[in-house]
Structure 1
Amino acid sequence: MKKMNTLVSSIAIACAFFGGSVHFASAAECSGTIRVLAQPRDGLTLLEKYKDEFAKLSGGADFKIDYLNENDRRAKTKADASTIGKYNVYYVDEANVALFASSGWLAPLQNYYPKDYDYADFDPGRQKVATYDGKVWFAPLTGGGDLMVYRKDLLEAAGIQPPKTLDEYVAAVKKLNQPDKGIYGTALRGQRGSGANVWRWMPFFKGFGGQWFDGKTPVFDGDAAVKATQTYLELFKYSAPGSQTGGWDEAVGAFTSGQVAMLIESTPLVGMALDKKSSQVADKIGYAPPPTPLTGGGYGHGLAIGAKANKDEAAKQCAGLFIGWATSKENEQRRLAEGQFSELNRTSVMTSKTFADMYGAALGQALADTGKVTAVNFWQSAQWPDLGDRWGIILEELITGTRTDIKGGLDELNGFAKDLVARGQ
């Protein structure tokens, strides 16, 4: 690995005290097994091939990764982190980092993440999502923002340039909508849920200047939320069939099957759209950042240091060393070589010649550009899923027409939020 000698030398020198700067434990202190609780990811499985490399780097340490599906992983991580602390490293995501950090179940990552592994190289959007209360809590394994993906052939035939503003996007969606030919202007998510319809609605809300709270007072029933909802509902008139009650799978499936002209979705979409085995439009797509003023919906999953299992500074340093190695440029280059598109997180990798040769330079540039406008759109709170899911129900009712009063729905949500905050105090 790059800078192996430097790292090994650093590890071999134990500091007399911990004064806030990063230092590494001695090789002997890293000779045990680092236990990791995660959900299945190809990038983590790939690490198993290089256990000898990590052992050499750390002075003899091993690692063992236990895998659970997403829901079970979240439940077990919460139970373990809050009680016995069996695991040194946890796989966490944007939905639970606020709870874990505020509860003291994690150690701040950058106190122990080796500087040689260059945390600043991660995509800016991933860094934002990994940050809570001014501190970084995990190193990204997967994540993204939003990209506008479009059918070049359809835009060219209609004489439309890729939209740069939301007004241009709405106009293009209307013009490109040809249901009699099986082509729809766009595809959205109508299915209820904080990670479904609300996730796709939030870039409109934040782009129009909305915010969730002013201190502890909910303030999302104003003009920004109303305008965001009106715009979202307007676009649904031109959305592919099935998307009114569908989620990610339905929206992305409609695009890759050739039914959709333009789509704004999370960046892993691109890997699917470019896969000729599953996409009918692999040779016809272009990419750009979301049209202004939309913000990209930032999300991320990654590795964090458990506070309970790592009972002293030496143990935390070893956990940090494992995380640094697991998310290093070298291991990300290995994931790139394996075609693991959704597990690329580093700017240096996504703008590399190897990436350009595999996916095209235009995609690398689009990803770099969208990283600059990616934002944390959701409320960073342990109570976010409750609030987001409640709005998801109301929003689905507005999309399907069983509810028509936008402002009334938002006022109802505001009241729910006040009760939610009061219960949490």
Structure 2
Amino acid sequence: MKTVKTLVSSIAYACLLASSVSSIALAAECSGTIRVLAQPRDGLTLLEDYKDEFAKLSGGASFEIDYLNENDRRAKTKADASTIGKYNVYYVDEANIALFASSGWVVPLTDYYPSEYDYADFDPGRQKVATYDGKVWFAPITGGGDLMVYRKDLLEAAGIKPPTTLDELKVAVKALHQPDKGIYGIALRGQRGSGANVWRWMPYFKGFGGEWFDGSTPKFNSEAAVKATETYLDLFQYSAPGTKTGGWDESTGAFTSGQVAILIESTPLVGMAIDPKSSQVAGKVGYLPPPTPLTGGGYGHGLAIGTKANADDASKACAGLFIAWATSKENEQRRLEANQFSELNRTSIMTSETFAKLYGPDLGQALADTGKVTAVNFWQSPLWPDLGDRWGIILEELIAGSRTDIKDGLNELEGFAKDLVARSQ
């Protein structure tokens, strides 16, 4: 990316623009093309219609976004960021930010993110996921925590109040379970994987006080892990058919098709559940934060500044300006008006009158409340996918019944973790 003119000391930013654009511009004007590697998202596609706006804001720069599916995007970003550095901006996520940050492939975002764009306005849970080793590395383009969604009609008919504690959840799930009528108390994830069954198990583990490591020493072979696993297995008695070997699609599909009374899942589910085009239970759905003491499973995808393609501070500042504009309040407002629910990340947007008119008065508050209990449940390490996937295999075996000794499974995982850490040193 070519940059022109000068960068004043401490990268000062000056107010320029009016109308719907934030009145912010870099003291160093940008030109040329900012190259972005991302995976397809409606919220990014929307930006293509406003290239002239960004050109005016930046002093002449354009941008070009190359899209790849998730797995290919992860592989190519890793390859590019570690070698030639063709891209100024990378789309990263919670699964790889520890690797990118610890390897020096991206730079701390807020060093080059104009303060006027109000990073603090992002949902608190998404800010936590974007933070590694005490520094912020990306601006969210999608993400969330967990919400408990429930069938208001089924709970009201049974005289059950929406549960706010785990003990109340257990009672409600059992009482609402009517398989002879095609209604199941809950839907969980049994499919192996750090982002599948382990993802849904972790809120119980963290809620009971579990921790993965003390320094480099595994400490997850604990009473918290045993209790979390026992609770997860107990609830599986009331889980919808197909979920013992299923993941996100099976659990959310069971809810939106009307088979499930209560579901705790990632927040994009809500957009599906309340949309008549994708849900048979639209108009019957209530939502609350996860029951205490469960934490929300924080995740996030967003835009980060590449190190190699941005050789000087002026280039990094231009990439930072693009990221700030792409994730700005103005562009989030456009995503809201386009009904791109899963692409909304800012508190000011989710608590706005427009949001309330589109999605009802209660959802914005529920999202704000769940943001407060959203946590980074996974081990923030480049080694996490290996450890999480290994536990996913063991947990799947426990769910399926081919393995019955929880403590033995955790002992096996601890041995795997020790070898994994030793090999990395």
User: What band does the TM-score fall into relative to the shorter chain?
Assistant: over 0.9
Quote the offset at 1:17 in angstroms: 3.2
Q: Name the CA distance, whole Å, in 2 between partners of 1:299 and 1:400.
A: 27
Corresponding pairs, count: 413
Letter in 2 for 1:381: S
Superposed CA deviations along residues 206-250 of structure 1, whole A, max 9, x for unmatched, are 000000001110000110000000000000000000000000000
Kindly indicate whether residue 328 of structure 2 is the aligned counterpart of residue 328 of structure 1. yes
Q: Name the CA distance, whole Å, in 2 between partners of 1:277 and 1:58.
A: 39
Residue number in structure 1 paired with 2:93: 93
CA contact (8 A) 1:12 1:25 kept: no
CA contact (8 A) 1:22 1:111 kept: no
Residue number in structure 1 paired with 2:297: 297
Letter in 2 for 1:195: G
Residue number in structure 2 paired with 1:17: 9
Residue number in structure 1 paired with 2:48: 48
Quote the offset at 1:114 in angstroms: 0.7
Letter in 1 for 2:90: Y
Residue number in structure 1 paired with 2:82: 82
Residue number in structure 1 paired with 2:273: 273
CA contact (8 A) 1:138 1:304 kept: yes
CA contact (8 A) 2:8 2:27 kept: no
Superposed CA deviations along residues 3-25 of structure 1, whole A, max 9, x for unmatched, are xxxxxxxx999554348x87874
Letter in 1 for 2:414: N
Residue number in structure 2 paired with 1:416: 416
Quote the offset at 1:121 in angstroms: 0.2
Residue number in structure 2 paired with 1:174: 174
Kindly indicate whether residue 146 of structure 2 is the aligned counterpart of residue 154 of structure 1. no
Residue number in structure 2 paired with 1:199: 199
> TM-score, with normalisation over the residues of structure 2?
0.95
Residue number in structure 2 paired with 1:218: 218
| Structure 2 counterparts to residues 12-411 of structure 1, below 5 A | 14-18=6-10, 25-26=26-27, 28=29, 30-411=30-411
Q: Name the CA distance, whole Å, in 2 between partners of 1:254 and 1:16.
A: 56
Quote the offset at 1:126 in angstroms: 0.2
CA contact (8 A) 1:128 1:375 kept: yes
SS in 1 for 2:95: coil
Quote the offset at 1:275 in angstroms: 1.1
Q: Name the CA distance, whole Å, in 2 between partners of 1:65 and 1:13.
A: 25
Q: Name the CA distance, whole Å, in 2 between partners of 1:373 and 1:138.
A: 21
Q: Name the CA distance, whole Å, in 1 between partners of 2:28 and 2:81.
A: 26
CA contact (8 A) 1:14 1:25 kept: no
Residue number in structure 1 paired with 2:20: none
Letter in 1 for 2:190: G
CA contact (8 A) 1:298 1:375 kept: yes
Calculate the aligned-residue CA RMSD, in Å.
1.4
* CA separation of 1:368 and 1:119: change in aligned 2, threshold 3 A: same
CA contact (8 A) 1:25 1:314 kept: no
Superposed CA deviations along residues 125-163 of structure 1, whole A, max 9, x for unmatched, are 000000000000000000000000000011011111110
Q: Name the CA distance, whole Å, in 2 between partners of 1:25 and 1:188.
A: 48
Superposed CA deviations along residues 76-129 of structure 1, whole A, max 9, x for unmatched, are 000000010000000000000000000000010000001111000000000000
CA contact (8 A) 2:189 2:243 kept: yes
Letter in 1 for 2:319: A
Q: Name the CA distance, whole Å, in 1 between partners of 2:26 and 2:72.
A: 32
CA contact (8 A) 2:28 2:314 kept: no
> Following TM superposition, where does structure 1 have runs of at least 4 consecutive aligned residues deviating by more than 6 angstroms?
21-24
Quote the offset at 1:411 in angstroms: 0.6
SS in 2 for 1:393: helix
SS in 2 for 1:34: strand
Q: Give structure 2 stretches of 5+ with no counterpart.
A: 15-24
Q: Name the CA distance, whole Å, in 2 between partners of 1:16 and 1:179.
A: 68
Superposed CA deviations along residues 373-417 of structure 1, whole A, max 9, x for unmatched, are 000000000000000000000000000000000000001000100
Superposed CA deviations along residues 25-66 of structure 1, whole A, max 9, x for unmatched, are 4454x0110000000000000000000000000000000000
Q: Name the CA distance, whole Å, in 2 between partners of 1:401 and 1:15.
A: 63
Quote the offset at 1:278 in angstroms: 1.6
SS in 2 for 1:361: coil
CA contact (8 A) 1:166 1:293 kept: yes
Q: Name the CA distance, whole Å, in 2 between partners of 1:79 and 1:287.
A: 41
Superposed CA deviations along residues 254-306 of structure 1, whole A, max 9, x for unmatched, are 00000000000000000100110121100101000000000000000000000
* Most deviating of 274-283 and 34-43: 274-283
Quote the offset at 1:420 in angstroms: 0.4
Letter in 2 for 1:289: P
Q: Name the CA distance, whole Å, in 1 between partners of 2:32 and 2:81.
A: 20
Q: Give structure 1 stretches of 5+ with no counterpart.
A: 1-10
SS in 1 for 2:34: strand
SS in 2 for 1:189: coil
Letter in 2 for 1:98: A
